[in-house]
Structure 1
Amino acid sequence: MNSLVRALEHHQLVSAFERVTDNCFTGYAFDPASPERRLIIDILLDGVSIALVRAERFDRRLLDLGSIDGCHAFLFQADANLLVGQRLLHACIANTGTPVGRPVDLLRASVSKRTRTHRTGSVSWNAGLRLFGTVRARGGLAPDIRVRDGSRVVAQTRPRRWPVTRSAGLDADECPFSLHLPDSYADGLVHRLRVEDGSGLELEGSPLSILAFANGLKRLLPVGPASADDLRAEWFDQLCPTSLPFDRYPDWIAHVDAGPSDTTGSVRVVLIGTDGLDETQADLECQTLRRWSAAWIDAVGGAFAPEDMDEAVTGDLGEEDIVVFVRTGTSLTTDALAGLADALRTSPDSVAAYGDVEVERDGSAHPVFFGAFDYERQLEQGYATALFAVRIDAIREALARRPTSLERLFLALLEGPAGTGDRIVHRPGVIAHVAGWQPADTERLCAATRDHLAARGIAAEVRPSTGGIFPAVHVRRAADAGLVSIVIPTRDRVDLLETCIASIRARTQPGQYEIVVIDNDSSDPSTHRLFETLARDGVRIVACPGSFNYALLNNVGVAAAQGERVLLLNNDVEIRSDSWLTELASRLERDVGAVGAVLRWPNGIVQHGGVVLGPGFSAADAFNDCSGEDPGHGDLLRVAHEASAATAACLLVRRSDYLALGGFDADTFPVLFNDVDFCLRLRARGLRVIVTPHLDILHHESASRGRDDAPSRRGRYRRELTALRNRWGEVLAADPAYSPFLNLDPYPFSALAAAPRPAMPRRRLLPGVLRA
């Protein structure tokens, strides 16, 4: 059997089964060889199956037995009348007969004296510094609740609110509670806390990974006596605690500090162009970094002579070890030079640094906040060349390639030791106001990108595209020949599947692909008739029965695929552009692990433009509040760009990479976040994730399986979200591809962060994660 569809190794099972009350039984079961799996337990009464339960509850004992999160326990509560006259109750792994613990003799077994976790209560965290939960009373009294950070108790409370009726879903002895954590935990760092009752028994849902920030708007107000402004700010923080609208930017920027910069050292400033030369020179005189020298070179349409650039950089050079390149007409903030130089000096192995900018929009300044260096975006937008700094040694190597524009000079840095950008550092924070782009900028970017790819030995077509506030080009590399396996999981909904496959065939060259449909217990006769028709036409139908497990369905599909590249595709997707598969395949470079697509709903609104980490201490689709014509923040919907993750509704990967990582984690993330987790594991290996807008694909999201926030699915959602937070908490707290100055509301890129998160210079590698 393929390693992606592992069978349980029965001899390694760790399990127990015991009686808790007259009609309540509990136990646990997990396989140490794959401790993240959640097993299905079959409960049998005198040999007859009476119930199935999933072993996914928390039991503190399991942490000492090798469980990663302690969530392998189960609970079974029987109808008391069902047990009358019966002798033996036992548990086993469903469909295997492997026993779980020892059978319970109903005539002899006494009730366990130990109070179990499930008899204690539960706790959850949604946002901020507040925890919610329930605890069971003992002898009519509710026990204390304690929160531990390691061995230290950091908060405690005693529930004082009792349910009046059971209408809220609480048992008669359950008491709800809430408590606030100390303000010191609102520090923008991930904290893992354990919550227990007065007896030291951990509540279900513990341990918790939390991420909280200090009050947003209140922190921006001037210090002074309490006023109505304080009340309004507190109310605003409660309703919208992490954001301010972009039209508040002038007020917001006046109170935002990107952090101190080292003003020592000396830099060489090279000014390019003639328009606005006097204004830019005046800004240099106001810099906090006082030791600088400047040189100026003429440029026609942004192009310069290589020998002029050589002289400007190296002529009469003193102790300057950093060169800053500025287009004339650019307005500099007072700490622009210091900020760029500091970013390089605090990252000793970096070769270049850039910062954020303002642009003119509708007569006012509008900020554009970048992420960590994005090679794909640089190729198609040249975004980092507005204002950047380079170490003198690296610039000498780049000048040897005889660049005639800043775009070409910057890309020349990436033809040496910097590769595709691991040694480029981003300094968050606005450092310049830049002028609008001209048609000549697009032509110059086209030529620079074409020459750079040729220098790297990459065959590609580069043609002008349509930007918004920046120039834009469309890069299409020559895609490798070879079969692409399109894997489509499905269960009934013949209308969706038929539309999906028909759109693929209408828009894709024959022989370029194969289609593998993974059938998850379809029962509609019309679906099976379609399967028969598809099979005659060469589509392979692979059965994968059982409860819906999206991750497992994809794993089974990839295991059956014959192509070296695999496209994971939802059955509710409709292809509407030619060359769509070529576009995706052209992005799968050697250092790229996955390629996703900008997807739109049928009404034209963007559904997915990449995944942003952080909103709600979780992950959210980017730009799903934008119309189809909206260029997105910084024109990201007009150019291919990197993201920390992308949806598997349309995701191209190498089969070898997929198998090397063990595929999707079907045990921990059977339905949600499996694609996010997979992309982050790719990125931990140093591979990039690319999202491209250069195609037209509709996504009828969750049309076949329904919404994940339905009441019946909230328990699963909470469990998988908790697993995501526990595994990737530090990364969720600091997405390299997303600016700390942007909001963490459910709609990323739509607002300013009312209280910016830590804004240290950063690189494209995941924070706190080493390459495998």
Structure 2
Amino acid sequence: MNTRAGRPRFSVLTAVYDPVPEHLAACIASVERQHADAVAGVEHVLVDDGSTDPAVAAILAGAERRGAIVRRRDANGGIVAASSDALDAATGEWLVLLDHDDLLADGALQRVERALGVDPSVDVLYTDHDLIRADGRFVEPVYKPDFSPERLRQTNYITHLVVARRAAVESVGGFRPGTDGAQDHDLLLRLAERGQRFGHLPEVLAHWRQSPASVATTPANKPSAFDAGVRVVAEHVDRCGIAAEVSPGRYPGTYRIDRRADPEELVSVVLPTRGSSGRVWGVRRTFVVDAVRSIAERSTHRAVEFVIVADDDTPEAVLQALRAVGARHRLPVEVTTCVGPFNFSAKVNAGVRASSGGLVLLLNDDTELIQPESIGVMAAHLQHPGAGETAHGGVGAVGAKLLYADGTLQHGGHVYHGEFMHAFLGWPGDHPGPQRMLAIERECSGVTAAALMTTRAVFDAVGGFPEDLPLHFNDVEFCLAVRATGRRILWTPHACWYHFEGRSRDRGASMAEWDRVASNWWPDGVPFDPYANPNLAPKRPDWLELPGRSGAPPYFVDDEGVQRFA
């Protein structure tokens, strides 16, 4: 081994159980090639977990002769037992998790070593990966966000390649018995609970092999793994002190975490309005009245008050209709008037000042509640977080899924890649999105104030909405200010409204306002969005806007190695 002082040394851990012999040989060869990259000491620790194929035994014997560390178990004990044996035999400072039929990319550990040298505080480093087809081709690169703790609860988006500091892994007890099939997810969650620092290297440095029975081909191929995943996530949630029920998500490999909201905590619903009306689905409606009525009639969270922020020309008949809706459903409706030129930020601030709830839901007047549990879902993220949930910053704001009247997606979170975008704009409203991003709760850089919930304390801490941005990007500025306090912004698909955008007021974007936000926060240029990936946006900033014509967009890689949709 070529160990040099001050540089990391890697132990590649591989549990082996009856793989296709040629695939195991390729796996071992991919590790052996790392030695040629001037990487400080690399050792490959392979544990044969009772394989029955003589060809596998021969390949392992050959690897052992070439310097690999090989341990043999008398009987199959499962991947946790084999991985634990590999950990016990390893001597490296850094542990690299590699399945018995997967490959390290050429130069992978050299790139990892450089990244760790740039940021020595990292405890866990993960990279992007792609898939190996049956014909040996590398396809479907999976470009991941930087560390996203809520997303990690909802699905193991990290998967491959994982490089973890040995001391960090040992501090949480290594691989935990009883988690076979979800052992890596369990380990990552326990590391996250302890506040270990996660880093992301946005390069494809691992190749995950597809096989007829593998999760890489079809996640539903191993239902036992996802049964284990439900248990792992439920135990994690319990350790974090989060009051919630965990169940399988809508798609294999995803999990639904139903947090229990305090039904008695008052939510102030702040609706700026001028009382406009228009036609939707062939029927004329007064938008703000129908917005309030939809919550009053459908919401399962009943501790709400409505604060209507009217213009001085809002029709009195509209205000009377709003009070009538409140009286009918025994819900308070307060009206305050904001005079002068239209300033959305000023109206929001006036509404919050006039409200009394500890939680504030900012809502556009041209919305209609779809999912009855929406307000409770959003509130639960902001109420009494468990101690383990704040290890990577508490939640400062929660945004909802918004659909246009035709059922297509209007809002799936904000994304910034040189410019501002609504992620997945125009996608089918029921589409899960790439990597199931539209089916899970996850961090994002910002959410629209058309349906945004925060706490009064957070709202006050950042000074409310910026009144020097009267029309556009005020929610962008607000979310950036919230994130600057160390808090996270979440988007949830489990809170959903229709948003008849454009019906109640002209929403044409002002680039002057965007330039003001960008120059304020990023004087040297807008950086890559940490919750997207630099491989996705630089060449084609519409990557999150339009799906493939078939509905489930296939991936391909262009000549410059950038992931695209067909």
TM-score range, shorter chain: 0.7 to 0.9
Task: Give the TM-score normalised by structure 2.
Answer: 0.78
- Cα distance in 2 for partners of 1:462, 1:281 equals 39
Q: Partner of 2:458 in structure 1?
A: 657
Q: Structure 1 700/310 Cα, relative in aligned 2: closer, same or farther at 3 Å?
A: same
Q: Partner of 1:258 in structure 2?
A: none
Gaps of 5+ in 2: 1-5, 36-41, 52-75, 209-215, 278-285, 546-554
Aligned residues: 476
1:325, CA displacement in angstroms? 1.2
Q: Partner of 2:320 in structure 1?
A: 529
Q: Partner of 1:292 in structure 2?
A: 43
- Cα distance in 2 for partners of 1:753, 1:512 equals 52
Cα contact 2:401–2:497 (8 A) shared by 1: yes
- Larger Rg belongs to: 1
- Cα distance in 1 for partners of 2:163, 2:336 equals 54
Task: Give the TM-score normalised by structure 1.
Answer: 0.58
Q: Partner of 1:724 in structure 2?
A: 517
Q: Structure 1 271/625 Cα, relative in aligned 2: closer, same or farther at 3 Å?
A: farther
Q: Which residue identity does 1:295 align to in structure 2?
A: L
Question: After superposition, what is the alpha-carbon deviation per residue over 1:342-395, rounded to whole angstroms, capped at 9, x for unaligned?
Answer: 433432111101111224799982122111011111111111133311001001
Q: Which residue identity does 1:440 align to in structure 2?
A: S
1:595, CA displacement in angstroms? 0.6
User: What SS does structure 1 have at the residue aligned with 2:206?
Assistant: strand
1:296, CA displacement in angstroms? 2.9
Cα contact 1:619–1:732 (8 A) shared by 2: no
Question: Does 1:408 find its partner at 2:199?
Answer: no
Cα contact 1:522–1:528 (8 A) shared by 2: no
1:480, CA displacement in angstroms? 3.8
| Equivalent of 2:261 in 473, 479, 492 | 479
Question: Does 1:269 find its partner at 2:64?
Answer: no
Question: Does 1:613 find its partner at 2:407?
Answer: no
Q: Partner of 2:60 in structure 1?
A: none
- Cα distance in 2 for partners of 1:328, 1:511 equals 53
| Equivalent of 1:629 in 421, 427, 430 | 430
| Equivalent of 1:427 in 179, 201, 206 | 201
Cα contact 1:740–1:756 (8 A) shared by 2: no
Q: Partner of 1:514 in structure 2?
A: 305
Question: Does 1:540 find its partner at 2:334?
Answer: yes
Question: After superposition, what is the alpha-carbon deviation per residue over 1:446-466, rounded to whole angstroms, capped at 9, x for unaligned?
Answer: 111111111222221110012
Q: Partner of 1:335 in structure 2?
A: 107
Q: What RMSD over aligned residues (CA atoms) do the two structures have, in Å?
A: 2.9
User: What SS does structure 2 have at the residue aligned with 1:286?
Assistant: helix
Question: After superposition, what is the alpha-carbon deviation per residue over 1:484-521, rounded to whole angstroms, capped at 9, x for unaligned?
Answer: 11111111125111221111112213642111111122
Q: Which residue identity does 1:490 align to in structure 2?
A: T
Identity of aligned residues (%): 30
Cα contact 1:297–1:312 (8 A) shared by 2: no
User: What SS does structure 2 have at the residue aligned with 1:627?
Assistant: coil
- Cα distance in 1 for partners of 2:353, 2:492 equals 26
- Cα distance in 2 for partners of 1:416, 1:603 equals 45
Q: Which residue identity does 1:749 align to in structure 2?
A: L
Structure with greater helix percent: 2
Gaps of 5+ in 1: 1-262, 710-716, 758-772
User: What SS does structure 2 have at the residue aligned with 1:599?
Assistant: strand
Q: Partner of 1:314 in structure 2?
A: 88
- Cα distance in 2 for partners of 1:512, 1:672 equals 31
Q: 1:221-232, aligned counterparts within 5 Å? A: none
Question: After superposition, what is the alpha-carbon deviation per residue over 1:152-184, rounded to whole angstroms, capped at 9, x for unaligned?
Answer: xxxxxxxxxxxxxxxxxxxxxxxxxxxxxxxxx
Question: Does 1:452 find its partner at 2:236?
Answer: yes
Question: After superposition, what is the alpha-carbon deviation per residue over 1:238-277, rounded to whole angstroms, capped at 9, x for unaligned?
Answer: xxxxxxxxxxxxxxxxxxxxxxxxx975311122463646
- Cα distance in 1 for partners of 2:313, 2:325 equals 15
Cα contact 2:290–2:368 (8 A) shared by 1: yes
Q: Structure 1 401/359 Cα, relative in aligned 2: closer, same or farther at 3 Å?
A: closer
Q: Which residue identity does 1:706 align to in structure 2?
A: D
Q: Structure 1 618/520 Cα, relative in aligned 2: closer, same or farther at 3 Å?
A: farther
- Cα distance in 1 for partners of 2:527, 2:316 equals 48
- Cα distance in 2 for partners of 1:701, 1:359 equals 40
Q: Partner of 1:599 in structure 2?
A: 402
Q: Structure 1 640/681 Cα, relative in aligned 2: closer, same or farther at 3 Å?
A: same
Flag the structure with more relative contact order, 1 or 2, with Cα contacts below 8 A and sequence separation at least 6: 2
Cα contact 1:267–1:322 (8 A) shared by 2: yes
Question: Does 1:553 find its partner at 2:331?
Answer: no
Q: Which residue identity does 1:428 align to in structure 2?
A: P
1:650, CA displacement in angstroms? 0.7
Q: Which residue identity does 1:282 align to in structure 2?
A: A
